[in-house]
Chains A and B, each alone.
Chain A
């Protein structure tokens, strides 16, 4: 689907509240704009973002047409143990972008 940038802090200690930042390349076409031929451009937005840690959902968001292209989503979590973070972006074209990142707690 697209290119993704994920930023998970390094050197995390147990109990720290950490900020995870994500950026995804996506047009977020609203469905309200018309092409030069006058026809509406069909809506194509990311409508849901989910982040899980070792299979447990820790953050989710519903997105709407007013959200800009290339959405930046940042959220916080409490780091209790090391594990894998899984990020999923679902879009109107039926695509799902799935990325993983490692969280290492010292």
Chain B
């Protein structure tokens, strides 16, 4: 009887909860892994270099640079692993890229940058790099309602194909979809350089890819749904080390 209950408990768990959490880094070809391991061959380092320039560049009406408030960018170690984070002044959870936008407008008093624009990605990658190797953190109590919304969105069927994220990335992770292995879908390396894009992109760009893939209307960049999904994904990946800026095929 006890073993039957145990078996039932195990059945109700999602597949990824039984399999150990792994980064999709492990699914890549050795050549692509080598590209990520060596900073000299990682094209994302071009954005990092741009980010460093932007970090110390005075901008806007206040003539302030990021460095004038934050000092050396190394002081932001540990920041990227806790974003998206609840921001009391905004009364909501925001992403790191949105925080960069807020700093740009409120502190520097400069023209806003669009999400997914090159400078936002460059700074986001630079800040992410400072936390490379640190474990992603689970959601905090202040993020609980956003986390619940994210989980609901993750499990909700969507699009003409009527698929939820969970159906691929929980139930069938590790199996093949066409020629590719379905990853567990942990956002461990964003913003990352995707060889398919030949460009650096945020996790939101990747999520929009998946949404279009199941023929559903993708959420706009920075929308509450996107942020909620990102909080859920970070919580789900908690404990995995950050790889920013990663390479993916």
**CB within 8 Å of B: which residues of A?**
3, 5, 7, 21, 23-25, 28, 68-70, 72, 74
Check B198–A68 contact: CB distance below 8 A.
Answer: yes
**CB of B50 closer than 8 Å to a CB of A:** yes
Q: Evaluate contact between A25 and B198: CB separation under 8 angstroms.
A: no
CA distance A101 to B43 in the complex (A): 19
* A5 B46 Cβ-Cβ under 8 A: yes
| One of B49, B50, B195 near A68 (C-beta < 8 A) | B195
Which residues from chain B sit less than 8 Å from chain A, CB to CB?
A: 40-41, 43, 45-46, 49-50, 195, 198-199
Contacts known (A69-B198, A69-B199); A74 close to B41, Cβ less than 8 A: yes
Cβ A5 vs Cβ B49 within 8 A: yes
Q: How far is the CA of A25 from the CA of B195 in the complex (A)?
A: 14
Complex: chain A residue closest to B50, CB-CB: A3
Report A29 CB to chain B, min CB distance, Å.
11
Known: A68-B198, A69-B198, A70-B198. 20 other contacts (CB 8 A): A3-B46, A3-B49, A3-B50, A5-B45, A5-B46, A5-B49, A7-B40, A21-B40, A21-B41, A23-B40, A23-B41, A23-B45, A23-B46, A24-B46, A25-B46, A28-B198, A68-B195, A70-B46, A72-B41, A72-B43
A67 to chain B minimum Cβ distance, whole angstroms, is 10
Contacts of B43 in A (CB 8 A): 23, 70, 72
Give chain B nearest CB distance to A84 CB in angstroms.
20
**Contacts A/B (CB < 8 Å), 28 sampled:** A3-B46, A3-B49, A3-B50, A5-B40, A5-B45, A5-B46, A5-B49, A7-B40, A21-B40, A21-B41, A23-B40, A23-B41, A23-B43, A23-B45, A23-B46, A24-B46, A25-B46, A28-B198, A68-B195, A68-B198, A69-B198, A69-B199, A70-B43, A70-B46, A70-B198, A72-B41, A72-B43, A74-B41
Contacts of B40 in A (CB 8 A): 5, 7, 21, 23
Distance between B51 CB and nearest chain A CB, rounded to angstroms: 11
Complex-state Cα separation, A5 to B49, whole angstroms: 8
